Structure 1
Amino acid sequence: MPRRVSLPAADDLFRPTADPGQDPAGARHSPVRAVPATETSEGPASAKPAGRRSSGRVRHDEKMTVYVTSSELHDLEHARLVLRSTHGLAVDRGRLVREALALVLADFEAHGEDSVIVRRLNQA
């Protein structure tokens, strides 16, 4: 039995992932989907900004590295586990961060100077 490991060829590593008939530029930049305004247990829909959603569970072509403190990572992991145990939502940390980012950006688009992100960044 040979001990040599077979590795994939360069063609396999750098193959296109989009369908041949699909526009690769359009595949990366999908339009923002509108969120229907509905009543929730948290209050009226007008309190939540609509119009921006996270990308959810799709293949992501872009990558961004974010450094966080151990405390922030612990809080993120705790939120993920609470979502799973209490609400039955099995999400990874990346999806949780994308959802939070979508909420913050939607609030910024809706409220501008009065948005939560502007207020918090002004405090820093």
Structure 2
Amino acid sequence: MARRVSLPAADDLFRRTAPAAEPPAAAEPEVATGPAAPEAAAKRPRKPSGRVRHDEKMTVYVTSDELLDLEHARLVLRRSHGLAVDRGRLVREAIAMALADFEANGDDSALVRRLTEE
């Protein structure tokens, strides 16, 4: 009778091997709620989540050209900058950049300008 080989799960292969350096709790900005929340949120830098396990999922449909452009950007980042990133991380980075610009510049942000061009 053949024995089955036990292989590690994907979570085991891609887990962090070193503890993440976290700033002291006193240095973290407070998160405001209510009407003043957008102004308070603009003061803290927005960072993409990076390479961590994501519990939430969102499906976005793109055109063939948009997908090719995204894949081309991923390959250029790898070839020219040595950055091996997947499409998901590339999209999360772009979202973080767009939202940071929106929070910092509001009506003058690139996001508002591009959405009002439609």
Taking structure 2 as the reference length, what is the TM-score of the superposition? 0.64
CA distance in 1, matches of 2:72, 2:47: 23
RMSD value, Cα = 2.1
Q: Which residue of 2 aligns with 1:86?
A: 80
Q: Secondary structure at the match of 1:89?
A: coil
Matches within 5 A, 1:17-96: 51-96=45-90
Q: Which runs of 5+ in 1 are unaligned?
A: 3-32, 35-49
Q: Which is bigger in relative contact order (C-alpha 8 A, separation at least 6)?
A: 2
CA distance in 2, matches of 1:53, 1:116: 18
Identity of aligned residues (%): 73
Taking structure 1 as the reference length, what is the TM-score of the superposition? 0.60
What is the Cα deviation at residue 98 of structure 1?
Answer: 0.1
Q: Secondary structure at the match of 2:101?
A: helix
CA distance in 1, matches of 2:116, 2:79: 35
For residue 53 of structure 1, what is the amino acid of its counterpart? K
